Amino acid sequence: MSLVLDASAALAWIFERTDPGEKALAERLLDEIATQPMRVPSLWHRGERG
C-alpha cells in the first residue's frame, strides 16, 4: 500500500499545530513514510520543470 501525501499533511510538519490531535497525526504520518512507499500529486512536480 502507498500513502498519498497532500499539502495539508506536509504543512503540518512545517507549521506548529496547536491542536494535539493534529500534531499527533502529522508525527504519525512522518513515521509511516519512513517505512512505506509514498506518493505525491503530480502537481507537486511541476515546479521542477520550469
Per-residue confidence (pLDDT) for residue 42, from 0 to 100? 80
For residue 4, list its beta bridge partners. Answer: 39
pLDDT attached to residue 39:
86
Which alpha helices (H) appear in the chain, and where do they start and end?
7-14, 20-33, 46-49
What is the domain partition of the chain in residue ranges?
Answer: 3-49
Q: With a cut of 70, say whether residue 46 has pLDDT above it.
A: no
pLDDT over threshold 60, residue 24: yes
List Cβ neighbours of 24 (8 Å cut-off, separation of 6 or more): none
Please state the φ and ψ torsions of residue 26, each to the nearest 5 degrees. -65, -40
Confidence of residue 9 (pLDDT cuts 50, 70, 90): confident
